[in-house]
Amino acid sequence: MSSSAEKIHRNPSKEANVTPFVHEKKKAITIFGLPLHWFGVITAVTLVSMYTGNLPGGMLGSLLVMMVLGELFGWLGDHTPIVKTYLGGGAIIAIFGAAYMVYGGWIPESTVTMITDFMKSGGFLNFYIAALITGSILGMDKSILIKVGLKYFLPIFGAVIGAMAVAGLLGSLVGFSLRDAVLVITMPIMGGGMGAGAVPMSQIYSELMGNDPSYYISMLVPALALGNVFAIILASILDIIGKKNPSLTGNGQLLKGFQFKEKPSSFDVQKMGVGLMAAILFFTVGTLLAGFIPLHAYALMIIIVAVVKIAGILPQSVLDGANQWYKFVAKNWTLALLFGIGIAYTDLNTVLEALTLQYILTVLGVIIGAVLGAGLLGKLVGFYPIESAITAGLCMANMGGTGDVAVLSASKRMELMPFAQISSRLGGALILLLAGLIIPLLM
């Protein structure tokens, strides 16, 4: 009797350690939060419209191509071994995938022109960066902003000295003169990009050394372009180093001892609209003041937003709205912007022409020197070395605003945009000043 009862109450599936009718589900592949087949349909419609010449003009067609292909390339980069770990992942594939499509003639000329106009005269880059600067500063803890601002220029100075020292040493070993290593390679890389760096620098070189400015532009641009590539790669490597050595990084926080955790808040569509208006307004004020003050509009904008934040004169609804709008823009348009950077700002011919071993080693020396100098001096003033190396080092050594987006995206630290912009704009102005002082010494 007991044996038959035992048989009745046995659970065969339990004894066999098997749960009936339960199958482990594989995680579905999604791109931009969409199932793969739906994203494929959207991509097909976009490509057919582009190649048949039926894309909407202006912002609509540009943003569609940039978002769809940017997200596609970003997904490929983030899921490709080696690329995702050491080469910047989606950020670098979005940029150079787009640049290669232009180089290979895979994008219709009309689409290239449309996206270039949207990025430059259409102001999409300014629109994006304005949102990041305004939202990240207004969403920042005021005490951190005050503490960081007073100390930040020391690691910038360290980046410049480190870049010159390492590039001068490596350059002399591979056959460059100190003059070429510093003036032709180091200075343009550390100079804050094309518009605020290489272009005015070519004017300074022309006035002090003779020759037409276009002669110097042809020498400065390859260094700038190649340096930007290495800056993106090293940003990804620094992110890996930080994961393996947690004591070196604040995971997006620059200053030690101040671990600001944002208060959770529900997203409000109306507040985001206020945030959008605030971003545009602050950029407009920066542009207005740039007409009277010899500083870039971004630099003036950073100063204005920081002063307003420290003064505490804005209502909480504006602070929340600006921060929420910045998150929306960063989440949805970063890869689109990077794709646009590849189309409008990245000349693959220029990069390829610079690829001699001596040139590559010297450019690499600039970037390594900037990282070491900024990281070491940043640590001395209480910054996390990884974040200091990324902002005061790599964001001095990239292509200005476009490079800042790529570097911070590759290092997964977009919240550091205000400090990246300080490096690119105010640091770039410092380089132009140094160029005028150094040239007579090296002639």
Q: Does residue 152 register a pLDDT over 90?
A: no
Quick one: average pLDDT of 113-135? 90
pLDDT for 18: 47
> In b/e form, how buried is each residue of 86-113, taking b as 16+ CB within 10 angstroms?
ebbbbbbbbbbbbbbbbbeeebeeebbe
Look at 27-41, 208-222, 277-291 and tell me which has the smallest mean pLDDT: 208-222
pLDDT for 124: 92
Quick one: average pLDDT of 29-37? 93
Stretch (H or E) spanning 7: helix 2-9
pLDDT for 158: 94
Task: Tell me the chain's radius of gyration from C-alpha atoms.
Answer: 25
Each residue's pLDDT tens digit, 175-202:
888 888 888 888 888 886 665 566 667 7
Q: Is 315 helix (H, G, I), strand (E, B) or coil?
A: coil
Each residue's pLDDT tens digit, 364-399:
999 999 999 999 999 999 899 999 999 999 998 887
Share of the chain above pLDDT 90, in %: 44
Each residue's pLDDT tens digit, 67-108:
999 999 999 998 998 887 666 778 888 988 999 999 999 999
How far CA 210 is from CA of 139, 206, 420, in Å, comes to 48, 5, 33
Fill in the DSSP letter of residue 248. Answer: G
pLDDT for 255: 80
Q: Is 44 helix (H, G, I), strand (E, B) or coil?
A: helix
Token pair for 261: 């955790």
At residue 262 the predicted structure's pLDDT band, cuts being 50, 70 and 90, is low
pLDDT for 228: 86
Measured between alpha carbons, how far is 268 from 295 in angstroms, rounded to an integer? 35
pLDDT for 209: 73
pLDDT for 390: 96
Each residue's pLDDT tens digit, 269-328:
999 999 999 999 999 999 999 899 877 788 788 889 989 999 999 999 999 999 999 989
pLDDT for 213: 67
Q: Taking all residues of the chain, what is their mean pLDDT, rounded to a whole number?
A: 84
**CA-based angle 178:182:188, to the nearest 5?**
155
pTM: 0.75
Return the number of other C-beta atoms located less than 10 Å from residue 381's C-beta: 18
pLDDT for 315: 93
pLDDT for 2: 46
Strand partners, 34: 31
Q: Does residue 437 register a pLDDT over 80?
A: no
Each residue's pLDDT tens digit, 402-415:
788 889 988 999 88
Fill in the DSSP letter of residue 214. Answer: H
Of residues 263 and 389, more confidence is placed in 389
pLDDT for 426: 66
> Are the CB atoms for 398 and 232 separated by under 8 Å?
yes
Q: Is 66 helix (H, G, I), strand (E, B) or coil?
A: helix
Return the number of other C-beta atoms located less than 10 Å from residue 437's C-beta: 8
